[in-house]
Amino acid sequence: MPAPLQQLRHPLLDQQNVELWVKREDLLHPALPGNKWRKLKYNLQEAKRQQKSTLLTFGGAYSNHIAAVAAAGEEFGFRTIGMIRGEEHLPLNPTLRFAISKGMELHYLSREVYRQKDAPDFLQQLSGQFQEPFILPEGGTNMLAVKGCTEIVTDIDMKYDYICCASGTGGTLAGIIAGLKGEKQVLGFPALKGGAFLRPEIEQLLQNYSGRHFDNWELITNYHFGGYAKVKPELLTFMQQFRERHQVTLEPVYTGKMMFGVFDLVAKGFFPEGARIIAVHTGGLQGNAGFRERLGLEV
């Protein structure tokens, strides 16, 4: 089922004479919403093809990817193992409680050990320890994830000029760019500070995936709000107003920042008159429970 497109109505959009639509990937799959489902889809098929019974992956304690892998394990019959960065904190936060409720086994790695998460020797060791699992990298970004994310755009049957998406590892953005094959303009909004580092990583993903170089994309690096998972009052106010006006819930790590950035660019006249813009809602709403609990935030 294609994720629906929802048009946003706002005086600012009329004033600047642009159209803004949200691609509701957050509604894509009931158990596995958002881009993490896109990223997992072909990996799950490959794990089945290899007759793997276990998925093993890595993430922080609030990771949307950890939550998605746990849900996928339950849905598709895999044992799941989550290697979590840092020490165990009790009581567990909502993300890890969710993961456990879906049957995931959690193992905690010190920050030092966690840094080896991509090292072949370390992965070899984990393979032996956990009966040869199918290993997914942190954030789930690999070639099969990029392939899955191309379907975010092949899914759209409407004319448009720009597509905007939040970025963590850049896997989702790489899939969007690859899927568009040089058409449209793609804007990526890094959730991390100093997001320009993503440019060569996305170039590399594109090179590996499609063997091509594309020029129709750029990173908008100044809407990180202080860094990954950092929250500022103006961002929360924006998200709250956005929900009241459009009945769409965002989260502060990725989609809130991206949407704030899109509206700010509209206000600054970044987009030409008549432009039709699509902003991808990549989901991640499971993380809001953690923000509520930690900070007492109304998100």
Ligand X SMILES: *Cc1c(COP(=O)(O)O)cnc(C)c1O
Q: How far apart are the first and last CA of the chain?
A: 28
* C-alpha span between 130 and 13 (Å, rounded): 53
Q: Which of 16, 57, 64, 221 binds ligand X (CB under 6 A)?
A: 64
**Which CB sits closer to ligand X, 18 or 166?**
166
Least Cα distance to 279 among 37, 21, 36, 34 occurs for 21
For the CB of residue 269, give the shortest distance to ligand X in the complex, in Å: 26
Which residue, 16 or 153, has its beta carbon nearer to ligand X? 153
User: Of 78, 254, 263, 271, which one interacts with ligand X (CB under 6 A)?
Assistant: 254
Quote the least distance from Cβ 90 to ligand X, whole Å.
Answer: 25
Q: How far is the CB of 221 from ligand X (least distance, A)?
A: 14
Binding mask 274-293 for ligand X (x = CB under 6 A): --------xxx---------
- Containing H/E element for 17? none
CA distance 78 to 70: 9
Nearer to ligand X by Cβ, of 73 and 139: the residue is: 139
* Binding residues for ligand X, total number by CB under 6 A: 19
Q: Figure out which of the listed residues 21, 34, 59, 187 binds ligand X, where binding follows CB under 6 A.
A: 34
Tell me which residue has its CB nearest to ligand X. Answer: 284
Element (H, E) at 200: helix 198-210
Which region holds residue 183: left if phi is over 0, alpha if psi is between -120 and 50, else beta?
beta
| Residue 35 or 93 with smaller CB distance to ligand X | 35
- Contacting residue, 16, 141, 142, 288, with ligand X by CB under 6 A: 141
Residue 162, token pair as written in the block? 């720009």
Task: Specify burial of residue 261 (Cβ count, 10 A radius: 0-12, 13-18, 19+).
Answer: buried
- Minimum CB separation of residue 141 from ligand X in Å reads 5
- The least distance separating ligand X from the CB of residue 172, rounded to whole angstroms, comes to 3
DSSP 124-170: HHHHHHTTSPEE--GGG-SHHHHHHHHHHHHT--S--SEEEEEESSS
Nearer to ligand X, 16 or 172 (CB): 172
Site for ligand X in 160-189 (CB under 6 A): 166-173
| Angle of the 287-295 helix axis to the 94-101 helix axis, nearest 10 | 140
Our finding on whether 33 is near ligand X (CB under 6 A) is: no
For residues 250 and 281, the answer to whether their CB atoms sit within 8 Å is yes
The residue within the footprint of ligand X, chosen from 255, 256, 261, 265 (CB under 6 A), is 255
How far is it, in rounded angstroms, from Cα 143 to Cα 209? 6
Q: How far is the CB of 14 from ligand X (least distance, A)?
A: 28
Nearer Cβ to ligand X (16/42): 42
Query: Is 35 among the residues that bind ligand X (CB under 6 A)?
Result: yes
Q: Give the other-Cβ count within 10 Å of 63's Cβ.
A: 26
Cα gap 286→94, rounded to integer Å: 8
Residues contacting residue 68 through CB under 8 Å, at least 6 positions apart: 32, 34, 36, 37, 39, 40, 140
Judged by CB, which is closer to ligand X: 38, or 184? 38
Write the binding mask 101 to 130 for ligand X: x where contact by CB under 6 A, - elsewhere: ------------------------------
CB closer to ligand X out of 34 and 94:
34
Binding residues for ligand X, rule: CB under 6 A, are: 34-36, 64, 139, 141, 166-173, 254-255, 282-284
